[in-house]
Chains A and B, each alone.
Chain A
């Protein structure tokens, strides 16, 4: 062998051998460089890359708890959560996004230009963010997408529980609406488990009862591949559905009230006089909360908040109006209770009342002649109450107004309730650093001046008068139940106070209120019903002060016209329901508001007479979203 090796060395390629040493060097250096790189990646940065690889494959998918349903007091469904599908597209998951959309358009029978336009609009979005091609798409779309899934890379459907308001705008202000959680809200509520993109109650019941309705989000820890496709579920926390809320509201009565106000701006509130349960609460113009549920568009939102008729405001509790002549009820009670008033004593009304150097005119040109308290209420004589005001004095008037719940929030369980204003001398001193002038009390006598009330307050006042002097807290929610029907919380009548008032006083007032509707010359004749005897009081609240001349409503521009009030309860014997109607810029209360109250009361009576089993009962199961 040695010989052979020698021969081999003599031949071969000496130059190559000489250069081979250099090659070994290059080889070693190259492999050291590769090893150094691997050391860096796997040893030094290993922990970081491990973290990245974990994050790469595990996604947290939140499953919002199914929001609780809302029923009326008869068990009729008002608000439901149903599953809905959004059609999404992640263009990065498709090699040819345009062609994918063309195929989709073909399968759906939609215009491909429209879909391509959506893609174009979203050009600036971050990579891998989904483009929403359609919200709450219909069932045929779902089927088409599912069955052509392989043909439609990047197209996915996302299930989302969606709020559904069975009766649209009918109870919009009571039920409220949902909206995406704002960044400020999120900061406050993050610890309660809210996340970006969550829907949260933004108004009405949805907002105030958010905690009860929302339930708890569940979640899935999902292992995904690079396309975000789910490989398997690693860990799961089930979601907890929200509680069901049963309202005191009666859907059918609400509907009647809503229809009565159709085309008008105003509000109707109906209370159960015996316990403060709110039977109906309508505010118009209304909005459709379903619009919010499907995701309101910017221009729709702008339209709602810029609307001069303020459709987003719940006039029943947020509207503060001068009570007008409806306040004469409080005036009469204060006068009787404070011993200032001899009910039988008659005064002469020439059509105006002079106080100081100013003349206050009666609504009736030429006046009512000689009137006592009863006639003054029935015919709504202004002069009678003008002169009564200064005799009682503002502080005693305020005391009685407040006793009936005016000037304070009722606490019905909705946000943004306003308190109205019952002025007195102290208030004026604090606010204006001025004494109260008796002349100001003259206007208070007919419910004008600084005085403002909310329609709900007047309804509660009427309820207290009807039930003999007990002021209940108005309630909207009767019961909270868990999904399986177990009662979680129940809300019974809650007395705010028993008003210390003589029965004779109430008796006198109630007789007068009954005559407002039934006696000839009564201002509330339009509320006279063949079904039931109604007691009530009209009111006309001035929006602008009329000096001197009498002006017909029709001659005023719309926004300067008076507001029309009608406050009422029924039946006269054993009252059950109190109804307050306010029609903004409706003119006279007797013409514009009283007929609406009559409609609601008649409906109530009809509902009471109808046997229970004829009323639609709650449908379980079918509509449940789960």
Chain B
């Protein structure tokens, strides 16, 4: 392909630098999360996260390099690939922590449920890119997205990975609402969903039920399922205004925190940097999301706008669910903090998403 000079001059440095900032915060916090007080180093995870950053940059550049309209063509094949990988995970996947989520590629354990989040956005943006019907979509108009997304959600649920399934669900809902679903149809949908909840409860694993019950009453089992939330709240709360200082978070250092470098990394960060640090981090997310919403508004076409919106929705829901879960506002579901939590698949997927947004941003001037 040829590189248009205008593309380079319109490269979205803001978004790119924000991304690097998040990854830096992530690596620094991962270092702390794995810091071993007696051996005085943090093992290989921080440098591996830097390696994933390299992989992410490749993903990002890939997403930028081609005109985003190519995504229209690959949306369904990509989605098909994700379905295949998720089935593959169940068949030959690598299990850890009680669920089967990874495909071992030798140097890299791929977690297909991460790129699956992207697949949903692509498919939805493709499906809804044409102008809306005057009175909005009815449920019967959108059975195709349901048929495509449904299997993805079910496959992540059975791994089981409740967190990713929820993310897939809320991103899907966000996108159909954004694309112009009739409000009445939305309420039908919501009503049906509520009615199905008890059946869903039946399918939850016992540890997932325990988490939900524990959320409703954290003291129900302070040393069992409630342990994580309580320890995480202690970590955040004891950070107070200015934090305990970098590498001085006792909750983290002494292994009181669960999954401290992945899903609970926000607790590690809060303990060491305090309220002020948290505020800065949240503000950065806020700025990034608001900036991306601006991009959406200024997108050249509806397809680009929906793509950006979908990616923003992914970020938004990740941040909100993760922080709410770690601070005890909602049940513990495994959702990483985007670009900060440790994890190659997640980081590469998020950076691909950023790449897509940069792509849309750059090409808004090109016809």
Contact = CB atoms under 8 A, between A and B. Distances in A.
A227 interface: yes
Interface string B325-339: 001110000000000
Nearest to A1: B365
B231 interface: yes
Contacts of B236: 38, 41-42, 49
Those 8 A-B pairs whose CB atoms lie nearest each other, nearest first: A49-B237, A46-B240, A53-B238, A13-B302, A13-B305, A225-B254, A42-B275, A127-B223
A39 B329 CA distance: 13
21 contacts: A8-B365, A12-B300, A16-B178, A16-B296, A20-B297, A23-B293, A27-B289, A31-B286, A34-B320, A34-B327, A38-B275, A41-B233, A42-B239, A42-B270, A42-B274, A42-B278, A43-B240, A43-B241, A49-B233, A49-B234, A50-B238
B110 interface: no
Interface in A7-62: 8, 11-13, 15-17, 19-20, 23-24, 27, 30-31, 33-35, 37-39, 41-43, 45-50, 52-54, 56-57
A27 B290 contact: yes
A20 B293 contact: yes
Contacts of A34: 282, 320, 323-324, 327, 329
A223 interface: yes
A392 to B, nearest CB: 78
Interface of A: 4, 8, 11-13, 15-17, 19-20, 23-24, 27, 30-31, 33-35, 37-39, 41-43, 45-50, 52-54, 56-57, 92, 127-128, 223-227, 231-232
B293 to A, nearest CB: 6
Contacts of A50: 237-238, 240
Dominant secondary structure at the B interface: helix
B327 A38 contact: yes
Contacts of B67: none
A38 B237 CA distance: 8
Interface in B37-75: 37-38
B100 interface: no
A19 B302 CA distance: 13
A232 B328 CA distance: 31
Interface in B299-317: 299-302, 304-306, 309, 316
Contacts of B301: 11-13
B217 interface: no
Contacts of A128: 223
Nearest to B132: A15
A124 to B, nearest CB: 15
B180 interface: yes
Interface residues of B, number: 53
Contacts, number: 144
A38 B278 contact: yes
B299 A12 contact: yes
B271 to A, nearest CB: 8
A232 B253 CA distance: 13
B224 interface: yes
Contact of A24 (B38, B290, B364): B290
A230 to B, nearest CB: 11
Contact of A37 (B238, B285, B304, B329): B329
A16 B310 CA distance: 12
B38 A231 contact: yes
A46 B233 CA distance: 10
Given A45-B237, A46-B240, A50-B237, A127 B286 contact: no
Interface centre among B37, B234, B279, B365 (most CB of A within 10 A): B234
B254 A56 contact: yes
Contacts of A24: 290, 293
A231 B254 contact: yes
Interface in B15-37: 37
Interface string B77-95: 0000000000000000000
Contacts of B274: 42
B322 to A, nearest CB: 10
Contacts of A13: 299, 301-302, 305-306
B97 to A, nearest CB: 11
B257 to A, nearest CB: 8
Nearest to A229: B255
Given A11-B301, A16-B296, A38-B275, A48 B237 contact: yes
B228 to A, nearest CB: 10
A43 B236 CA distance: 10
A27 B254 CA distance: 35
A92 B223 CA distance: 9
Nearest to A34: B323
Contacts of A47: 240
Interface in B228-276: 231, 233-241, 250-251, 254-256, 270, 274-275
Q: Which residue of B224, B237, B306, B323 has the most chain A CB atoms within 10 A of its CB atom?
A: B237
Nearest to A52: B234
A20 B233 contact: no
B298 interface: yes
Given A56-B256, A127-B223, A12 B298 contact: yes
Contact of B302 (A12, A56, A224): A12
Given A24-B293, A37-B327, A53-B238, A226 B231 contact: yes
Contact of A57 (B256, B290, B297, B328): B256
A54 B275 CA distance: 19
Contacts of A30: 316, 320
Nearest to B227: A226
A296 to B, nearest CB: 31
Given A34-B323, A42-B240, A127-B223, 20 more contacts: A8-B364, A12-B300, A12-B305, A13-B302, A13-B306, A16-B302, A20-B293, A31-B285, A33-B329, A34-B320, A35-B279, A37-B329, A42-B274, A42-B278, A49-B237, A52-B238, A57-B250, A57-B254, A227-B255, A231-B254
